[in-house]
A and B are shown apart, each in its own frame.
Chain A
């Protein structure tokens, strides 16, 4: 009896839940209302059958309970009934399938006038590329990939010169324009999914997959990777911002073309030396850092990381939080570098400074730190020398007190909280793994034990 009541309650409960609960799809923001309709139809068909079958089950349980002397009917077969039930099932299946086929035909037929853009996934972040004025994307190859050309665009390809490159994990799209997203992966499988758009497609390394949709609502939507892509899979998030056409164009114009990035002035170390003077006041003549002034060691840090952080300070992505007093100081100081050329030059100069391991100031349980560091090693390398391809800077031989401070900042949401600081966001999420200050000290203590390899060896490792 209890089971019959339970079954009935569950059926009624599920129905009530379905109708009363606010918990359903996120509100639609694209043209794919037909997908929602398909889903609704499957809900209805399966829902009706579910209710009928289970109420019948409950009825049998109540009506045909075993009593002394109650004999069961002998009815091993009833061909007619069986055929009827099979027939009805078939009709239900067809009812669910038919709309699915229609929607499917739409889904795979990309409209002629769809704008193309490329989403590039790698462990564990997104970058994007728009075709630029000519409307054609340039060809790419693995052999062209470098710190100066992370997209691997063929420098000799005319079509690629005007491609607009978005180095953020945030992409903007114009409203009410069909877009075709070309998907490319640099390493493992990823998946481009925006729940509000009802789209989802894998990125398969070595192939270019695609999907299309028309955003119908302005707003900021999460871009998720929904295919396990390794350790930091859960941090591989981005944003798709749907703008009015004019806003979109302004946004796009604010990003460099491939030609711009290639023409970017190379850093000149001699120019950089003069520009470095104000830096030296805190970071030291040799870039060795000064704990008393909260200035970390710079020498030996990789150029692409220094450049990115300087840009972050300049654009207010870092050092904007009032709780980050040192960061705010740095954000003010960075204005001594008027443009990208100056920035590149000072970084070029820092690269020439001698790289002596920073003195250690933090003690902790290095054994325990070693266990914790296995996670860090996935990006920063087992040797702690950083890995460019996953955008992780060097840690070994750098200022340990600074490292500990930054970990605390990441955890506290002081750093990595800016929506455009994708890598920072990632690190903020990963830093959560270090539950307390002791854990931070332990992992830093372990990093202190890592032998520092010479720049020459580092260069070899990177290749």
Chain B
């Protein structure tokens, strides 16, 4: 794909406002993207600190540091923060920064709404985090909020539920904005199938978000009325069913998994071709694969619930549909490797993270296949194997995808090259420690260690100790990321417009750093 830019530096050089008001009142997609990314980075450490509390407690059997209730609050909040406060905002940040630049749009389609989508987040986060300081503590029922247990939560329950509502509003508004931008703001000649894969994955992600966030909102609303207004949605005595909530939650929850991973797929699909100096192998089939994954994600939810005593036909259906997802996902993995085949590969930090993604995500994907088969799932369900499985998908999967994207586009955002040596050190530390943390969890899970327990049988001690060491190592390695980012923002070697010699696409045609306003006149895409 090539493009000509007719960008004029001089007209409408309306720059950003000064000081704090710039960030509060901004409608600029780059500013808002930055806000999202900074917020996500902050939450990475908040959620990360919680996971370190968990791992510290699990370092040895017995109860050493925290009481069991606080431990359960930590597992619950760690998940809620990481999912809603960290990884989703991170990818929305990428979308804000990159989607308009990749499709040749002057900004997001609905800039004020964009501002609102972000500025809901800190308030929702405050509402959620404040529960930790309340009488009775935060929600401690796991992030899945299963009734009836969740209804035993103390004062935190309505706060947590309203926080989920607000986070949902933010996601829905953000997604509407992304869809509108992609559907309506593409530069002339940018046909749908010419769009870069990152844009495609985000388009599909946004559809998923709009379809499932309201479902979650409805589900937690029913929790609220069951808890405070005497309804019986989840109480068998009144004709409801506690399992109904699980169906609702996972109807949201499974697409949510793809909401988290698809943008990472998109980033990897940008990074690997760039550093292979070769166009993405099978661009169109990647698009179709993404779309099929999204479609399938709506009909597989109950594989999270193989042990609730569902009817036979239901189990069969969900087992089959889940296995089907392996096919489009396989297509993606093959296409990434095929892109590298006969390429001309170099290994800058983004590429290293992308390769680690490829390697480690397949581990998460394969363990996903294992848990998808109902009888086998009886071994894994709610054991540490599942914890290992989804962390492999989320950390070296989604998070590594985000980090790869950050290194990849940092020069474009800041105009400076980051410190390549430190970047590589960060990579190796992250890659080693992430495996140290999560690989042993497969084994303790196989041996039967349940998840969400602060104390465990002594035979699991060795692997838990290793896992804890890994977690602390991984946590502290991420400080290096912060250092590299700050260093890069403040200065460094000037970056060229194209930055990477294999980089292609509209975002690489504008100078680095990208001017405050780009593509006020749409570029022509041939």
User: Which A residues form the contact surface with B (CB < 8 A)?
Assistant: 3, 6-7, 10, 21, 23-26, 32, 34-35, 38-39, 42-43, 46, 49-50, 53-54, 56-57, 60-61, 64-67, 70-78, 81-82, 85-86, 89-90, 92-93, 96-97, 100-101, 103-104, 107-108, 142, 187-189, 191, 193, 195, 198-202, 204-207, 209-210, 222, 224-235, 372, 374-375, 378, 429-430, 432-433, 435
Contact = CB atoms under 8 A, between A and B. Distances in A.
Contacts of A85: 330-331, 334
Nearest to A90: B327
Interface stretch (B172-180, B451-459, B481-489): B451-459
Given A50-B363, A89-B331, A210-B309, A64 B382 contact: no
Given A50-B366, A206-B242, A433-B68, A60 B341 contact: yes
Given A65-B346, A200-B381, A230-B72, 15 more contacts: A3-B356, A42-B376, A53-B333, A53-B362, A61-B345, A72-B276, A74-B278, A100-B374, A188-B152, A189-B146, A204-B241, A205-B148, A228-B452, A230-B149, A232-B68
Interface string B277-315: 111111111000000000000000000000111001001
B62 to A, nearest CB: 5
Contacts, number: 276
A42 B370 contact: yes
Interface stretch (B4-12, B157-165, B317-325): B317-325
Contact of A193 (B67, B235, B448): B448
A454 to B, nearest CB: 26
B69 to A, nearest CB: 5
B278 A42 contact: no
B316 interface: yes
A72 B344 contact: yes
B219 to A, nearest CB: 16
Interface residues of B, number: 94
B373 interface: yes
B511 interface: no
B505 interface: no
Contacts of B136: 374
A222 B453 CA distance: 15
6 contacts: A7-B359, A86-B331, A107-B378, A224-B448, A375-B68, A433-B68
A50 B373 contact: no
Interface of B: 62-64, 67-69, 72, 136-137, 140-142, 146, 148-149, 152, 235-237, 241-243, 276-285, 307-309, 312, 315-316, 319-320, 323-324, 326-327, 330-331, 333-335, 337-338, 340-347, 352, 355-356, 358-359, 362-363, 366, 369-370, 373-376, 378-379, 381-383, 431, 435, 443, 446-448, 450-457, 463, 502
B374 A65 contact: no
A43 B376 CA distance: 11
B277 A66 contact: yes
Contact of B373 (A97, A200, A224): A97
A75 to B, nearest CB: 7
B63 A433 contact: yes
A70 B346 CA distance: 11
Nearest to A210: B309
Contact of A226 (B345, B375, B382): B382
Nearest to B69: A231
Contacts of A64: 276, 340-345
Contact of B362 (A50, A66, A89, A206): A50
Nearest to B382: A226
Contacts of B243: 204, 207
Given A104-B316, A195-B448, A60 B343 contact: yes
A43 B140 CA distance: 35
